[in-house]
Amino acid sequence: MTRMLIVGPPGSGKGTQAERISDRLGIVAISTGDIFRANVKGETPLGLEAKKYIDAGDYVPDSVTNKMVRDRLQQDDVQQGFLLDGYPRTSAQVDELDDILTAEGEKLDVVLQLTADDEELVKRLLGRAKESGRSDDDEKVIRHRLNLYHTQTEVVVTRYAEQGILARVDGIGAIDEVTERIMTAIDAFAAK
């Protein structure tokens, strides 16, 4: 069974790579961003609450996010493993995820961190905004989100590095090249 996370700054390719890893390993990819966007589009109460935070470039509060992830990890399709994309983003969410997994007698196998230069990420995200019209991708909001990543989420990376389950992967380059780097990192952890 494979239980893993993919983390990295906004625009580092987490969503694209999560789909590819999911296909290769036959595990479900769980993106909190996709769940939030679906709720926003459907104008659900959660979606309306989440939209305020997403549009400002802020994280959706832990109380909402934790409940959503706990419920999602109880579903049958995660029994053979999962890849979480976009969670945990804070130290408190790491504690919550540990509690969720411990209650099921499970733990994470590997945490993949995609790395990329901030200026490259700004350029990528501005390009994506033009293509998709995402309201959360103007330069001011992008830089705010990158700052949040550096100040809040890097604590998550440090905690997993201390546990010895962090694999850093260069997220710059062709999509196929990045995928191969990730699969090499996963294979290295599987061999331990």
Q: Flag whether 16 is marked binding.
A: yes
**7 vs 14: CA distance, rounded Å:** 7
| Residue 145 annotated among the catalytic residues of the structure | yes
Catalytic residue among 14, 20, 51, 181: 14
| Residue 14 annotated among the catalytic residues of the structure | yes
Q: CA torsion sign, 6 to 9 to 14 to 15? A: positive
| Plot region of 86 (φ>0 → left; ψ -120 to 50 → alpha; else → beta) | left
Q: Flag whether 58 is marked binding.
A: yes
Q: Flag whether 89 is marked binding.
A: yes
Catalytic residue among 3, 20, 51, 145: 145
| Residue 134 annotated among the catalytic residues of the structure | yes
Helices 45-55 and 32-41: crossing angle in degrees, nearest 10, is 110
**42 vs 113: CA distance, rounded Å:** 31
Catalytic residue among 3, 72, 89, 181: 89
Active site residues: 14, 89, 128, 134, 145
Residues in the annotated binding site for ATP? 11-16, 128, 173
Residues in the annotated binding site? 11-16, 32, 37, 58-60, 86-89, 93, 128, 134, 145, 173
Residues in the annotated binding site for AMP? 32, 37, 58-60, 86-89, 93, 134, 145
